Structure 1
Amino acid sequence: MNAIKKPVNIVNVTYARTGGSVNTDSMGMREMQQRVFAKRDAQHLLVKAPPASGKSRALMFVALDKLYNQDRKKVIVAVPERSIGASFSSTKLTEHGYFADWEVKPEHNLCDAGSSQGKVGAFIEFLAGPAAVLVCTHATLRFAFEKLAPEAFDGTVLAIDEFHHVSADVEANRLGALLRDVMNGSDVHIVAMTGSYFRGDSVPVLSAEDEARFTPVTFNYYDQLNGYEHLHSLGIGHHFYQGRYTDAIREVFDLDKKTILHIPNVNSGESTKDKIEEVGFIIDSIGHVESTDPETGIIEVRRTDTGEILRVADLVDDTDLKKRGDTLHYLNTVASKDRRGVDVILALGMAKEGFDWPFAEHALTVGYRASLTEVIQIIGRVTRDSPGKDHAQFTNLIAEPDASQSEVKVSVNNMLKAITASLLMEQVLAQNFEFKTKRAGDDEPTPPGVIKIRGFREPSTPRVKQIVETDLNDLKATILQDDTFAKGAFGGVDPEMANKVLIPKIIRERYPDLDEAQVEELRQQVIVDSVIKNGEVKTVGDKRFLKMSEKFVNIDDININLIDSVNPFQRAFEVISKSVTTSVLRIISDAITATRVEVTEDEARTLWPKIQQWAKVNGRKPTIRSEDPTEKRYAEVVLFLQRKKQEREAAERATEMVDES
């Protein structure tokens, strides 16, 4: 096996540690909770906020106000799995200045063990009884709804946690169908909460018309992390290996960091198909097993290098469910509060969504994850603020494509999509700016957080403004997950073609209600926001400079044409280029070329002036045999135009022959 090459992180973000997002006001509310509470009168609330921002308590504040002041009679909280139900257990809010406490009676916490039928019965009895608050799983809510009419939810507040489990595809997603039926058939108030409002299968969570009925409240990752007291920086990187991952794991496994290590799904190419054996290999890479606690299942391993004892939790082995349950209980009750409780957690499908281990510093994930939601949830496990935690790290260990393997195209595609997921996280984690049009003679000082751009079209309608304010990251996720765009961005497609042809096409498909002027406004917002966040800003005196295409440009001189000439995501390909061997890079390039879409008339029209300029500078036409991807694409466009010209001339001759006859 070749030694692993350690690339630099694709994402390196530092934060100011202002304490703003964790400090509370006179009612005990953090900044995010204050934003949500300000919108408490809305019938349908959609709260998008990262893990650890306090969404569960925000719901308590709003729900209690609706019970006491908005004539609501009951609150139903639905969570995706039983373990998350603990986040909504009884809480003494009056101790911190709120007017009421959140109280859930034990019999109305349906996340405890019990039969599905019994829980459905308890749900129906709750609706008919005097109690005000119930907590259940999404599954219990679905099963109960099968026995209820929509109007049974009259007078209720329905809170859905981890809202990305809903889907607009009502045929395939019963929770989505339930939501639509309840919204249309009752006077229900809804509070929907998510830290990752995008499904990995690319199906939108809500249809455009249903989403328009929600009042959105967004608290972004930058707001959250910049307002911490302890966490100062976050890195996101990829490490590529050849052979078996169990042989490479030790090279990226930092035993000095509190680590959650997710092994690959048994159906993935990275898996050895024996998850128990994989756990054994990982433990052996640490050192020698000294003992296993019979009550908690915690494994004590003596490190080979230092002799120190590490405490390891194994959540992969599910042959003894009681043992794993004991380990989970220990992690949730002891290790979540005591830094010495555990050092390493090994998991497969667990320790992701809603899992709380504030001391976790390193999320080491083996294998490509198809779902952006899953990636965001895993990163969220290490971005909680905790004393002594200065830096958090997410590392994705991915197999390099091998030309001898039959699945090389799948491997290349997985690699590219893993990188694009990191690009999305870079956009999500960066500071937000407000972009304005810079007009002639505008010499006014620019306020902090505002960038003025010549030729920039500001949002002119409420619809575009709403997308920019609440949906921009989701739109970027759609763009980055688009196969055509990803392969074009990594395969040397001309930036203007990507920016002016591919991205508008994706915008039109996602928002069919927008006209062409609105599409252009949104396109400019996406490109400008991505380029600025992907660039490096330096301040020299009273001037700010942005690094674009390896050179620094005075921000005061930026115009929309300059930004359109930049591929905002090219840096990811540059990172890959430095992180893999030349032969692997060639495999990636060949795979992209082999699956490239045909030339379109829009692309040909966009590129033709550049091709003419290229031919003038180089004194020849571009050749299809060139190793330069840009020249090769230019040559493909020339061949396309020649073929179109021949087809047009043939059609004209046929028309002339008909006329003559």
Structure 2
Amino acid sequence: MPDLVHVTYAQTGQSSKTNHYGMREMQEKAYQARDAQYLLLKAPPASGKSRALMFIALDKLVNQGLQKVIVAVPERSIGGSFGTTLLSKNGFYADWKPNPLYNLCTPGMDGSKSKVEAFKKFLDNDEKILICTHATLRFACDELEEKKFNNVLLTIDEFHHVSADGDNRLGELLRLIMAKSTAHIVAMTGSYFRGDSIPVLKPEDEAKFTNVTYNYYEQLNGYTYLKSLGIGYHFYQGRYTSAILEILDTDKKTILHIPNVNSGESTKDKRQEVDTILDAIGDIISVDEETGVISVKRHSDGKILKVADLVNDNQRDRDKIQNYLRDQIKSADDMDLIIALGMAKEGFDWPYCEHALTVGYRGSLTEIIQIIGRCTRDSNNKTHAQFTNLIAQPDAKDDEVKLSVNNMLKAITASLLMEQVLAPNFKFKTKVDGGEPPKKGELHIRGFKKPSSQRVKSIVESDLNDLKATILQDPQMLKAMPGNVDAEVINKVLIPKIIEKKYPTLSEEEIEEVRQYVVLDSVIKNTLMVDVDVIKKAIQEDKAVQKATSQQTIDSELVPKIVKKVYPDLSDDEAKAFSKLMVNMPKGESKTDEAMSDKRFIRMAGQFINIDDIHIDLIDQVNPFQRAFEVLSKSVTTQVLRIIQDVIEATRITMDFEEAKILWPKIIAFKQTYNKEPNLQSSDPLERRMAECIIYLKEEKRKRANG
């Protein structure tokens, strides 16, 4: 199945270049905010967050008067990222040298009690740096007063593990330390998304943090080797182990995550699943006693593949293979396939990985981003990275059809979010007649409300993808995805309610400003943008055009082919329509002259609209989930789509007056156009919704008449 998301990058090398201090682009950006007492660093895997922390922490120790640094990581293996690093070799003025005695993530120190004692001892001596797990931090704080963290920098790595939920001890202790001590805090995460609806921090606490955001696009566009990233999914029926070889290409360096034993996709026997996968690939010829590496002779050609099994419950065996993966892989030839369940996600570094293959929808967008991050390291053995989600196709006979539909919708939603995350950011401004033309990366939109407060600016500049994740994970939004809710209702009713819930301190005016920005950004990024200049360049370089003697032949035959070649997502009819649009530009604006004022068009509702003519009211008529509905319609059979819609019908969004108010003019227009009322049995979900609206309004009228 073709990728839902396929993004190509410029390979500028910028994100890997270093400044006079030895800082990469993201690290320099983070270092510029080093004076903040509370700093939230959001950056993708492999961007160098651990080293960014070292630069910031050393500055706080040397120049800002802090006495100690505590680094807390979610699991011991990630502690290795914060080992001794000689930063002065590359121009920095200090080195990161933690005392091994106070690296509480090393295997030599076992037992929570001894670690807590070491933690307490650290706070009372002259040592400067301590590294521990989140669990050790929690246990230690149970025995300490918050004032012990005065003049201490507390760093929480993988910050999405924190929650504002009162039952989340890490979130609670962080709030107490902020309230009752002078501690500085650096929170770091590759993704701020959560799988549930509980925020990471309460709004009033989050507002205290200075945000530094380095996005996926900046990171991947600045790579040297990796040029493209694909995100797709593959449906299967029956057991996934029988479908796995359809997409598991053992010539690609792959991390395969099998499903959790509690999920619908699991056979409930994880060991048998691993054995079945290995048997499908080839014959096991040996297991290395020292490293745990499994050698498999491939059925197809006899090639020997090196496989790591991280599903194995035997701690000794798992430690051996983990040590091999961490310390002994020096080239692409040292490993071919890693099979994992809950491991090899956060903080796991295998730069040679080309394909992350995941069975079953994962519980959160955070987890998906972490898994995708395993294959997006820059490495000279690959120019393309791929994430594939293998998910069960809904079957009406299946008792778990509702779960299957939910997982399918979530998987597609996650892919749409990743498309937003991976694309370049635009800056939106209000278009004014006679105003300055847009700069590179800007779009000027008529009727657009610019942010009126610093809080709104912060949300649209640093939190936009996090807000979209919240919107896309909302249960009502998942129900809206199959195209059964009017676009205007989604944009003007559902989305504002989610924004208000996520940011309860915003005024109505601020909610509308955020709403416009998130809808505009979503629609623009999910809509194909066609650039006249790009097509003109392709026309000028085309050899057939250069040889052609007839302008009519060029305009009617060659240009449509070139448009289709440059923008393969366009249908043949759309390519012809756009070619005609170019040919019929006003006099003096032919394909070789200056075109229209912005020279870019977006495809909306089957039309090409000049970006210069876009009004916010037009954007509100576009369903930001339209891409998801198109994907569903194209990717599954009519029968499966019917199953999906039936499941959605069973959990219908309740009608309210706000939705009815938007639908009523559309009902009138429907009657005028078709000379009939909308039909409750129509195959069109929007027509059915309008019919339901009539029933709702009649019932409301009856209630009011009866007092």
Please give the TM-score of this superposition, normalised by the length of structure 2. Answer: 0.90
Aligned to 2:483: 491
Q: Distance in 2 between matches of 1:388 and 1:316?
A: 27
SS of the aligned residue for 1:103 comes to: coil
Alignment correspondent of 2:651: 595
Unaligned stretches of 5+ residues in structure 2? 534-594
**Aligned-pair CA distance for 1:576:** 2.1
1:421 is displaced (CA, Å) by 1.2
User: Deviation digits for residues 439-477 of structure 1, max 9, x if unmatched?
Assistant: 1233x4321100011111111111111111111111111
Q: Determine which of 138, 156, 163 is the counterpart of 2:159.
A: 163
1:429 equivalent to 2:485? Answer no
Q: Distance in 1 between matches of 2:699 and 2:197?
A: 36
Alpha-carbon deviations, 1:422-453, whole Å to 9, x = none?
Answer: 111111111000001111233x4321100011
* Residues 1:323 and 2:309 are matched in the alignment: no
CA contact (8 A) 2:482 2:632 kept: no
Partner SS, residue 436 of structure 1: strand
Q: Which residue of 2 aligns with 1:84?
A: 78
Q: Please report how far the alpha carbon of residue 214 of structure 1 lies from its aligned counterpart in structure 2 after TM superposition.
A: 0.9
Map of 1:27 onto structure 2: 21
* Alignment-derived partner of residue 449 in structure 1: 441
Give the aligned partner of residue 62 of structure 2: 68
Q: Residue 409 of structure 1: CA displacement?
A: 1.4
- The 8 Å contact of residues 491 and 593 in structure 1, kept in 2 or not, is answered as no
Q: Which moved more, 1:58-67 or 1:549-558?
A: 549-558
Paired residue secondary structure (2:16) = coil
Q: Distance in 2 between matches of 1:538 and 1:410?
A: 38
Cα distance in 2, alignment partners of residues 547 and 233 from structure 1: 23
The answer to whether 1:463 aligns with 2:459 is no
1:130 pairs with 2:126: yes
Match among 372, 377, 402 for residue 379 of structure 1: 372
1:56 maps to what in 2? Answer: 50
The answer as to 2:336 corresponding to 1:340 is: no
Instruction: Give the distance between the partners of 2:402 and 2:94, measured in 1 at CA.
Output: 58
* Match of residue 38, structure 2, among 41, 44, 67: 44
- SS of the residue aligned with 1:636? helix
Query: Are 1:239 and 1:397, in contact at CA under 8 Å, matched by a contact in 2?
Result: yes
Residue 654 of structure 1 is matched in structure 2 by none
Contact 1:489/1:567, CA 8 A, preserved across alignment? no
- The within-5 A match list for 1:554-633 is 554-633=610-689
Give the secondary structure class of the aligned counterpart of 1:278.
Answer: helix
Aligned residue number for residue 696 of structure 2: 640
8 Å CA contact 1:9–1:236 kept in 2: the answer is: yes
Superimposed CA distance per residue, residues 200-258 of structure 1 (whole angstroms, 9 cap, x where no aligned partner): 12211111111111111111111111111111111111111110000000001111110
User: Per-residue displacement from partner, 1:602-647 (whole Å, max 9, x unpaired)?
Assistant: 0000110011001100010011011111111110001111111122
Structure 1 counterpart of 2:52, one-letter code: A
Structure 1: 4+ residue segments shifted above 4 A = none
Structure 2 distance, partners of 1:106, 1:513, is 46
- Of 528, 550, 559 in structure 2, the residue corresponding to residue 536 of structure 1 is 528
| Partner of residue 370 from structure 1, selected from 348, 363, 376 | 363
Partner of 2:411: 418
1:361-411 C-alpha deviation (Å, 9 max, x unpaired): 101000111211111100111111111211111100001112112222122
Q: Match of 2:157, as an amino acid?
A: D
Q: Provide the secondary structure at the position in 2 that maps to 1:144.
A: helix
Tell me by how many angstroms 1:29 deviates: 0.3
What is the distance in 2 between the residues matched to 1:573 and 1:486? 11
Q: 8 Å contact 1:76–1:156 — kept in the other structure? A: yes
Question: What does 1:200-279 correspond to in 2, within 5 Å?
Answer: 200-279=195-274
| Counterpart in the other structure of 1:657 | none
Please give the secondary structure, in 2, of the residue aligned with 1:21.
Answer: helix
Once residues 512 and 133 of structure 1 are traced to their aligned partners in structure 2, the CA distance between those partners, rounded to angstroms, is: 38
Aligned to 1:110: 104
CA distance in structure 2 between the partners assigned to 1:445 and 1:308 by the alignment:
59
Q: How does 1:126-205 map to 2 (within 5 A)?
A: 126-169=122-165, 171-205=166-200
Checking the alignment, whether the CA contact within 8 Å between 2:481 and 2:628 is kept in structure 1 is no
Q: Report the Cα distance in structure 2 between the residues aligned to 1:552 and 1:486, rounded to whole angstroms.
A: 28
- Is the 2:217–2:423 Cα contact (8 Å) retained in structure 1? yes
Alignment of 1:490-509 (within 5 A): 490-509=482-501
Unpaired runs of 5+ in structure 1?
1-5, 652-661
Alignment partner, residue 3 of structure 1: none
Question: Matches of 2:514 and 2:661 in 1, distance apart?
Answer: 22
For the 8 Å contact 2:483–2:626, the answer to whether it is kept is: no
* Residue number among 454, 465, 469 corresponding to 1:473 in the alignment: 465
Q: Secondary structure at the match of 1:505?
A: helix
Matched to 1:92, the amino acid is: L
Distance 1:388 1:609 in 2: 58
Aligned to 2:538: none
Matched residue type, 2:456:
V
Distance (whole Å) between structure 2 residues aligned to residue 614 and residue 29 of structure 1: 60
What is the count of residue pairs matched by the alignment? 641
> 2:291, 2:278 → 1: CA distance?
17
Whether the 8 Å contact between 2:67 and 2:152 is mirrored in structure 1 is: yes
Contact 2:332/2:381 (CA < 8 Å) preserved in 1?
no
- Offset of residue 289 of structure 1: 1.5
Which one-letter code corresponds to 2:114 in the other structure?
G
Distance 1:96 1:647 in 2: 76
Q: Tell me if the contact between 1:10 and 1:572 (Cα under 8 Å) persists in the aligned partners.
A: no
Letter in 1 for 2:155: A
Cα distance between partner residues in 2 of 1:477 and 1:525: 15
One-letter identity of the residue aligned with 1:571:
R
Q: After superposition, what is the alpha-carbon deviation per residue over 1:334-368, rounded to whole angstroms, capped at 9, x for unaligned? A: 22x32111000000010001100001110100011
Shift of 1:105: 1.1
- Bigger shift: residues 282-291 or 100-109: 282-291
Shift of 1:548: 2.1
**Normalising by the residue count of structure 1, what TM-score does the alignment of the two structures yield?**
0.96
Deviation at 1:106, TM superposition (A): 1.0
> 2:581 maps to which residue?
none
Instruction: State the distance in 2 between where 1:502 and 1:132 align.
Output: 50
Asked if the contact 1:260–1:346 (Cα under 8 Å) also holds between the matched residues in 2, the reply is yes
Is the partner of 1:490 in helix, strand or coil? coil
| CA apart distance, 1:415 | 1.2
Q: Report deviation, 1:650.
A: 2.3
User: Is the Cα contact below 8 Å between 2:74 and 2:135 reproduced in 1?
Assistant: yes
Aligned equivalents of 2:294 and 2:632: distance in 1? 37
Residue among 279, 285, 306 paired with 1:290: 285
Distance in 2 (CA, whole Å) between partners of 1:468 and 1:597 is 28
Q: Is the Cα contact below 8 Å between 2:232 and 2:388 reproduced in 1?
A: yes
The residue identity in structure 1 corresponding to 2:419 is E
**1:70-121 CA distance string (max 9 Å, x none):** 1111101000000000000000100000001000111011001211111111
- Provide the secondary structure at the position in 2 that maps to 1:561: helix
Aligned partner letter, 1:133: I
Residue 479 of structure 2 contacts residue 653 of structure 2 at CA under 8 Å; is this kept in 1?
no
**In 1, Cα distance between equivalents of 2:662 and 2:230:** 37
Question: Which amino acid counterpart does residue 482 of structure 2 have in structure 1?
Answer: F
**CA displacement, residues 569-611 of structure 1 (integer Å, 9 cap, x when unaligned):** 2112211222222211110011111111221100000110011
- Give the conservation status (yes or no) of the 8 Å contact 2:262–2:268: yes
Letter in 2 for 1:468: V
Rounded Cα–Cα distance in structure 2 between residues aligned with 1:492 and 1:580? 17
Q: Deviations over 1:107-165 (max 9, x none)?
A: 01100121111111111111111111111101111111111100111111111100111
**Aligned amino acid, residue 519 of structure 1:** I
How much identity, in percent, do the aligned residues show? 62
How many Å separate the matches in 1 of 2:280 and 2:525? 38
